[in-house]
Structures are given as C-alpha cells and as structure tokens.
C-alpha cells in the first residue's frame, strides 16, 4: 500500500516513495526530467572530461614519483661517446646534442666546442695519444692552449657543484707532453683531393685553425707570415714564461708535416699583393690579427719614454731587453695584456712596475689568477684612476698625472667613466699604454676591392666571415677585436666552412647551421668542509715568485705527483648516459638505498657494483636528479612484484634491465659481462 503524505509531516523529510502521478501531471513531470537532464548534458559537453580518453591520452606522473630505477649504461660495458665530426658538420652535431640534452656544459661553453669530456675519458683509460688527437680536432694546438687558455670550460664544469672543477686546461698540457715523443709515428701528411688552393695571410691561432680544417677537407693551403717565425700574437705577444716557444713551434711544425705550406718572412702588401694571391688561389683568408697598440691622445703622449704594449712585448719576448733596465715603469690598463707587460717589465730589469687602471680591483678585466700572480711577483696595482697627462721634463717622461675615477660603468652597464676632482702625480720613467690594439691593413688591401671602414677595420660579415671582395674572407681578431686564443680559433673554424662552401659552389649561408652559444647553469663555489682529499682538484705547482721574476723560464710545472690520471678520473662524463660510479646518487639518497663501487685501473675502468635496495626506497627521485650523466632514470614499472625479499635488492645487472615491462620483478635482468682484466701494459685485453 502506498505511503500517504499528511499535512502535519515535516516538509524537510522526504518519503521513501511517492504515489505515482497520473494523467497530465505524469506527462509534464516526465518532460521536465528529460529537459533537466538534457540541460546538464549541454552544459558539460564543452568541458574537458574528468577521465582520460585512453589511448589518446595517457597519465603523466610528476618527475618526483616514478617507477623503479634503472641504468641506461655503465662504465666497463658502454663507451662514452666522443664529440667529433668532419669540419663542415661539426655545428650540426653540437646542435643535435644540445636539443636532446646530451651536450656536456664544458663542451658547449668552449667557443671551439673542444671535447673536454672525451679527453678526460680517454686519459683516464690510458689512451692519452687518442685524447690529444681528439682535442686537436677543435683546439688545433692543445699544448699551447694547455698553458695559456682562460678555460671557460672549467667555469661550467658540473663537478663544481660537488667540490671543485676538473683541471681541463692542465690535462691539455699533459696530453701534449705525452704525445710529443709519438709525433714521428702519428703525425701524417693529409692528402690533397681538391683542385683550388687556399692562401692564408697570418699564422696566428685563427689562421692555423682554418688551415687545419681546410687541409682535412682536402685543400692545399699556403700560409704567409711577415715575421721570421710563425705564431702571430702567440709568438710576439704571449710571454715565454707562459708559453715556451718550443711548444708553440713544435705544434705548428706538426701542421707543416700534415701539409701546410708555411712561408715566413713574406709580407703581403709589400713582397706580394693581395691581387696576386687571388689570381693564384681559389680563395684568400685574412687572419692578420692586431699589430699596433692604441695610445691615448693626452698631453705628453708623444714624449720619449711613452710606449705601446705590443711594441714593448715584442722587444721583451724576442730580445729579452726592452730599454727599461734600472727604470720605473707605469702600465696604463687593467686587462691581460697590461698584466703581461707589467710582468715582462720586471723580467727585463725594471726596478719598479705599477699598473694604473680605471677599474677598481674587483672590476679589472684581467683574469683573477693573472692579477694574483703579478702581485706575488711585485707588481703594484693602482686602481680607480684615469690618465690625465704625461708629465715631461726636457722631453723625457717623469710621471703620469691621474684623476680619481668614481665609477666606470653607468646604471645600464655601459662604459661611461665618471671622474672625480682629485688628481695626483705617479712618478715614473716609462709609460706603457695597454688599452687596446688595432689592425694595420692598408698595405694588405691596397689596389683591391676589399674595403676598410672609417676606423681602418675590415668590413666583414661577422657570421659568414666574408669581406667586400669576392673570394676574400677574414677571421680572428681583425673581425672580433681583442679576445682570447680559443675564441680566435672558433672563428677560424667558421671561416674554413665558408671557404669550403664558396669553393664548392654552394651558397655560403643557405641551410647552414650557425655555431650555437648555449647558456648553462652556473654554480657557486662548493663548500669543501669535510670533502675527502682524493675528491679535490689536482694542483699545479709553480715556481717561487722571487725566482721566477728574474727570467723567462716557464713558471708552471704541470700537475703535481703524477696527478693527471687521477684528475681525469674525477670527470663525471656529464650527459653521456653512462654510469661512471661517481657515487653522488648514493651520497644524495636519504634512505641509504644505493651502494656503488668502481675500479680505476687504466685500460680496465669499470663500475663493479651498483646495488639498489627497493625495500628501503621512498621513490623521492633525488638520486636521478643528481645524476650528472643522466644514466640513472626512473621507469614506468610502477608495480613491484617479488616472490622473495632478496629480489628487492637490484644488482648491476638488474639495474640495466629492459624498462618496457610494467612490473619490476627482480628476475628479468641480464648480468653484463664482468670487467675486463687489465693486462700488463694497461690496455684492454
């Protein structure tokens, strides 16, 4: 019997059932219900469904919560890939690695993209000659740059997050010193397969880099150098205490052995004209560098005793005498050239050497280690002053009047010195201007269609390195202005690519991959308290300042105590996707789940143990985030299915398992072959 609804019932209480409606009421009620349902459907039809439309949509998990860990590769079973390619395709390789996050920061930060990671891998494995030849593909002179490079690669080194960066530059030097006895058997002449020869004006680092690339592409290359020996600014400007001349000329001799036709004592514009070179060669590359110093046009700048930095360095380097013995020398400038001048002045007999710069000590553009070494040797730094006039008596310099500099840069970072009211006189006998350099190309380009701008610089496309003359290219500091040797080398590689395209009849710009300039994360210096000594960077021994300032003997002695091999093993092999047993995952793990061990025997380096205890793992993902090689990754194996507790302890073989199944069972891993046993000569059997 149907329940009856009475007027005295609480209206807030709904009956379990109502009497069925009949007639028109039933008909209208049914249509109202249908209209209400259709209205709800219409309102929600434009909204994204709350559920996934599988397989078109798949669930995405936060990176901090993933399935059981695995390794992509492991040292001893998998090789670290080397970054190498023929000259025209090198930029494509670098961009390709960058796009898939496989480009190591040290390689991407280097202007020439030298494979420092590959060098370290090969040195640690005992293959030092291969390491040298790998570096030479992009560096061209590892022994030279191993002594003078400002090593931006080390500033980007991931190892600095944990303790100290790898000593990449000293390892270049070690590779060169180990390679030198093998030159006779390993340096071979490159075959000439192209018909059009190439002429290069200047034998500095940019021209030499272009020459090597072009010879590797099959071109015959002739290089013209106006001085009696090659090297450009490396020979005339870099002091011998930083770069021994036998190292510089030894590596250039290797290029000659490879086929470079080097002609010294030939000045283009006097002994031979640019037009003659164009008639005899398919292309001409101007890599003449910067030959003269700029001198401020202040009162007294023409007095006897005022010198330019490049002139001073040439005299000091070539003759060991610069006319300042027993005199006081004041160097104007705060860059690396100014530091070289100051340190050379002490070595050629100056009684007092002072540097005067607009910048404060914190702002001077010279490298910090160069400033530190100069101060150790006795150079006096006078900062935040600007030259006002050279004080002269009887035609000779007696001092330099300077004005205080309140600030060098404005609020936007532009160079806009703000000078104060106070002035004072710095007494000196010689003033050397080290404030910049300029090219002298009027004789080189005379009677040709290669034009200069109003400042006497070449009109050059800074991307393609073409000039206004057909078939004439330029690279190095005549294009970029003063800079580093490795940056000049980078321009040489790009100019060689343009020349190759030109001679092959290919559009120089079309479908060309420009050199990438990636920006990597910078790391503050790590706290070294409690860091084990074996984890720290190998040190470079240096001569005592009191002794080294007396002559031009090299001041660095290389890595101490045979530390090169150990230093190379410190490299983390970033972005290689190969576990190298660095143990930073184990050090990061909050639950102490991971145990890693390796052996570092040259020729048989191997990760011997990698254990992951999944019974302790909280799947926080910190270990994978710390992995510098990207070898340690999470899988989609969200279901853990073990018959025995022991199977939750994954060994190295299980860590290398197939990531595709949905379950991690602890039974489907295949053990990799054991580490190779080293032979007596340190090579892999």
| pLDDT tens-place string over residues 426-463 | 999 999 999 999 999 999 999 999 999 888 889 999 99
Residue closest to 569 by CA, chosen among 41, 141, 117: 117
pLDDT-derived band of residue 618, with 50, 70 and 90 as boundaries? Answer: confident
Q: What's the chain's average pLDDT? A: 89
State whether 308 and 383 are in the same domain.
yes
Residues 120, 121, 127, 133: is their CA dihedral positive or negative?
negative
Whether residue 115 is predicted with pLDDT greater than 80 in this model: the reply is yes
State whether 310 and 428 are in the same domain.
yes
DSSP string, 212-252: HHHHHTT--EEEEESSSSS-THHHHTS-TTTS-HHHHHHHH
Whether residue 684 is predicted with pLDDT greater than 70 in this model: the reply is no
State whether 267 and 356 are in the same domain.
no
**CA separation for the pair 126, 103 (Å, rounded):** 24
Report the pLDDT value the prediction gives residue 14, as an integer from 0 to 100: 46
Please report, for residues 68, 595, 613, 662, the alpha-carbon distance to residue 619 in angstroms, rounded to integers and kept in the order given: 8, 16, 11, 16
Mean pLDDT of 77-81: 92
Report the pLDDT value the prediction gives residue 638, as an integer from 0 to 100: 82
Residue 64 located in a structural domain: no
Report the pLDDT value the prediction gives residue 54, as an integer from 0 to 100: 67
DSSP string, 139-204: HS-HHHHHHH---HHHHT-GGGGTS----HHHHHHHHHHHHGGGHHHH--PPPP--SS-EEEE--S
HSE-up of residue 269 (Cα within 13 Å, Cβ side):
15
pLDDT-derived band of residue 667, with 50, 70 and 90 as boundaries? Answer: low
Whether residue 665 is predicted with pLDDT greater than 90 in this model: the reply is no
Whether residue 287 is predicted with pLDDT greater than 90 in this model: the reply is yes
Q: Which range, of 8-17, 157-166, 193-202, 597-606, averages the lowest pLDDT? A: 8-17
State whether 615 and 498 are in the same domain.
no
Residue 15 located in a structural domain: no
Using alpha carbons only, what angle is made at residue 134 by residues 129 and 140, rounded to the nearest 5 degrees?
100
Report the pLDDT value the prediction gives residue 360, as an integer from 0 to 100: 92
Whether residue 406 is predicted with pLDDT greater than 90 in this model: the reply is yes
Whether residue 683 is predicted with pLDDT greater than 50 in this model: the reply is no
Report CA 15 to chain centroid distance, whole Å.
Answer: 80
Report the pLDDT value the prediction gives residue 138, as an integer from 0 to 100: 96
State whether 298 and 418 are in the same domain.
yes
**CA separation for the pair 336, 150 (Å, rounded):** 10
Mean pLDDT of 208-224: 97
Whether residue 561 is predicted with pLDDT greater than 60 in this model: the reply is no
- Backbone dihedral angles phi then psi of residue 89, each to the nearest 5 degrees: -110, 5
Whether residue 669 is predicted with pLDDT greater than 60 in this model: the reply is no
Which two tokens mark 208? 């030499």
- Decide: helix, strand or coil at residue 314: helix
Residues 503, 505, 507, 511: is their CA dihedral positive or negative?
negative
Residue 84 located in a structural domain: no
Residue 657 located in a structural domain: yes
Which two tokens mark 564? 């090169």
State whether 379 and 260 are in the same domain.
no
Report the pLDDT value the prediction gives residue 587, as an integer from 0 to 100: 92
State whether 347 and 472 are in the same domain.
no
State whether 443 and 333 are in the same domain.
no
Q: Where are the alpha helices (DSSP H) in 514-635?
A: 545-548, 564-569, 584-588, 622-626
Which two tokens mark 206? 């940019």
Task: Determine whether 630 is exposed, middle or buried from the number of CB atoms within 10 Å of its CB (0-12, 13-18, 19+).
Answer: middle
Higher-confidence residue of 6 and 571: namely: 571
State whether 408 and 433 are in the same domain.
yes
What confidence tens digit (pLDDT) does each residue in 82-111 have? 999 888 899 999 999 999 999 999 999 999
Higher-confidence residue of 320 and 636: namely: 320
State whether 541 and 476 are in the same domain.
no
Mean pLDDT of 25-30: 81
Q: Which range, of 309-318, 471-480, 611-620, 660-669, averages the lowest pLDDT? A: 660-669
What confidence tens digit (pLDDT) does each residue in 145-173 have? 999 999 999 999 999 989 999 999 999 99
The secondary element (H helix, E strand) that includes residue 556 is strand 556-559
State whether 331 and 430 are in the same domain.
yes
Residue 9 located in a structural domain: no
Which two tokens mark 467? 């000039």
Q: Which range, of 54-68, 281-295, 589-603, averages the lowest pLDDT? A: 54-68
Report the pLDDT value the prediction gives residue 64, as an integer from 0 to 100: 53
Report CA 636 to chain centroid distance, whole Å.
Answer: 35
DSSP string, 374-437: HHHHTPEEE-SEEEEEEEEETTEEEEEEEEEEEEEE-TTS-EEEEEEEEEEEEE-SEEEE-S-E
In percent, the amount of the chain with pLDDT more than 90 equals: 71
Report the pLDDT value the prediction gives residue 534, as an integer from 0 to 100: 84
Q: Are strands 352-356 and 328-332 parallel, antiparallel or unpaired?
A: parallel
For the chain, the domain total comes to 4
**Could you count the other beta carbons within 10 Å of the beta carbon of residue 47?**
7
Show the domain range for 637: 69-74+575-664
Report the pLDDT value the prediction gives residue 675, as an integer from 0 to 100: 60
* Cβ pair 584, 162 in contact under 8 A: yes
Whether residue 13 is predicted with pLDDT greater than 70 in this model: the reply is no
The CATH number of residue 657's host domain is: 3.30.70.3270
* pTM, 2 dp: 0.86
Whether the upstream peptide bond of residue 643 has omega within 30° of 0, thus cis, is: no
Residue 471 located in a structural domain: yes
Please report, for residues 77, 525, 598, 611, 681, the alpha-carbon distance to residue 608 in angstroms, rounded to integers and kept in the order given: 11, 31, 5, 10, 21
Whether residue 471 is predicted with pLDDT greater than 60 in this model: the reply is yes
Residues 6+ apart with CB under 8 A from 629: 572, 573, 574, 575, 576, 577, 578, 579, 580, 582
Residue 36 located in a structural domain: no
Residue closest to 646 by CA, chosen among 667, 620, 627: 667
Residues 6+ apart with CB under 8 A from 628: 158, 159, 572, 573, 574, 575, 582, 584
Strand partners, 606: 599
The CATH number of residue 205's host domain is: 3.50.50.60
Report the pLDDT value the prediction gives residue 682, as an integer from 0 to 100: 43
The CATH number of residue 153's host domain is: 1.10.1060.10
Residue 43 located in a structural domain: no
Residue closest to 107 by CA, chosen among 520, 480, 492, 491: 520
State whether 423 and 457 are in the same domain.
no
Whether residue 17 is predicted with pLDDT greater than 60 in this model: the reply is no
**CA separation for the pair 618, 633 (Å, rounded):** 15
Report the pLDDT value the prediction gives residue 578, as an integer from 0 to 100: 95
Whether residue 346 is predicted with pLDDT greater than 70 in this model: the reply is yes
Report the pLDDT value the prediction gives residue 415, as an integer from 0 to 100: 87
Mean pLDDT of 122-129: 94
Mean pLDDT of 546-560: 88
* Cβ pair 483, 134 in contact under 8 A: no
């Amino acid at each position: 019997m149907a329940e009856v609804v009475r007027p005295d019932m609480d209206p807030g209480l709904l009956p379990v059932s109502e009497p069925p409606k009949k007639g028109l009421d039933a008909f209208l009620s049914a249509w109202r219900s249908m209209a209400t349902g259709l209205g709800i459907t219409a309102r929600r039809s434009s909204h994204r469904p709350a559920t996934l439309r599988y397989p078109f949509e798949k669930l995405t998990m936060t990176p901090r919560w993933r399935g059981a860990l695995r390794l992509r590769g492991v040292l001893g079973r998998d090789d670290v890939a080397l970054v190498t390619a023929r000259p025209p395709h090198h930029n494509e390789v670098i961009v390709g690695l960058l796009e898939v996050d496989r480009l190591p920061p040290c390689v991407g930060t280097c202007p020439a993209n030298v494979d420092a990671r590959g060098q370290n891998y090969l040195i640690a494995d005992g293959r030092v000659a291969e390491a040298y030849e790998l570096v030479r593909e992009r560096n061209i002179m590892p022994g030279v740059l191993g002594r003078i490079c400002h090593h931006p690669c080390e500033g980007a080194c991931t190892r600095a997050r944990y303790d100290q960066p790898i000593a990449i530059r000293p390892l270049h030097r070690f590779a060169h010193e180990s390679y030198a006895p093998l030159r006779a058997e390993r340096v071979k002449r490159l075959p000439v397969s192209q018909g059009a020869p190439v002429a290069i004006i200047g034998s500095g680092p940019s021209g030499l880099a272009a020459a090597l690339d072009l010879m590797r592409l099959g071109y015959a290359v002739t290089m013209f150098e106006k001085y009696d020996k090659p090297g450009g600014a490396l020979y005339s400007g870099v002091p011998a205490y930083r770069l021994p001349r036998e190292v510089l000329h030894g590596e250039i001799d290797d290029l000659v052995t490879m086929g470079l036709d080097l002609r010294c004592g030939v000045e283009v514009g006097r002994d031979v004209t640019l037009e003659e070179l164009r008639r005899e060669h398919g292309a001409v590359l101007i890599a003449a560098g910067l030959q003269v110093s700029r001198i401020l046009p202040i009162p007294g700048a023409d007095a006897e005793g005022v010198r330019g930095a490049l002139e001073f360095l040439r005299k000091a380097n070539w003759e060991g005498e610069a006319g300042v013995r027993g005199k006081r020398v004041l160097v104007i400038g705060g860059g690396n050239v100014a530091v070289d001048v100051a340190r050379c002045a002490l070595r050629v007999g100056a009684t007092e050497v002072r540097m005067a710069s607009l910048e404060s000590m914190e702002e001077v553009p010279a490298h910090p280690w160069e400033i530190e070494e100069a101060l150790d040797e006795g150079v006096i730094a006078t900062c935040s002053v600007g030259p006002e006039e050279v004080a002269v008596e009887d035609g000779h310099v007696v001092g330099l009047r300077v004005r205080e500099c309140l600030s060098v840069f404005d609020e936007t970072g532009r160079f806009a010195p703000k000078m104060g009211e106070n002035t004072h006189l710095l007494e000196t006998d010689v003033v050397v201007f080290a404030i910049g350099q300029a090219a002298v190309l009027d004789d080189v380009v005379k009677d040709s269609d290669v034009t200069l701008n109003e400042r006497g610089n070449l009109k050059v496309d800074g991307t393609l390195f073409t000039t206004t003359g057909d078939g004439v290219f330029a690279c190095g500091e005549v294009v970029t202005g003063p800079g580093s040797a490795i940056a000049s080398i980078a321009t040489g590689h790009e100019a060689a690519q343009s020349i190759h395209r030109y001679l092959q009849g290919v559009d120089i710009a079309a479908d060309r991959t420009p050199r990438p300039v990636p920006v990597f994360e910078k790391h503050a210096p790590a706290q070294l308290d409690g860091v084990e000594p074996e984890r720290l960077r190998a040190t470079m021994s240096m001569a005592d300042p009191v002794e080294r300032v007396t002559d031009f003997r090299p001041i660095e002695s290389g890595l101490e105590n045979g530390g090169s091999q150990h230093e190379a093993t410190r490299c983390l092999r970033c972005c290689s996707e190969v576990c190298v047993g660095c143990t930073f995952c184990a050090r990061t793990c909050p639950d102490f789940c991971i145990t890693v061990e390796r052996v570092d025997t040259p020729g048989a380096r191997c990760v011997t143990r990698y254990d992951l205890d999944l019974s302790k793992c909280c799947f926080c993902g910190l270990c994978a985030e710390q992995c510098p090689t990207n070898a340690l990754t999470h899988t989609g194996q969200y279901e853990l299915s073990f018959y025995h507790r022991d199977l939750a302890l994954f060994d190295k073989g299980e860590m290398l398992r197939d990531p595709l199944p949905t379950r991690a069972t602890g039974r489907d891993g295949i053990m990799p072959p054991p580490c190779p046993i080293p032979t007596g000569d340190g090579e892999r059997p």
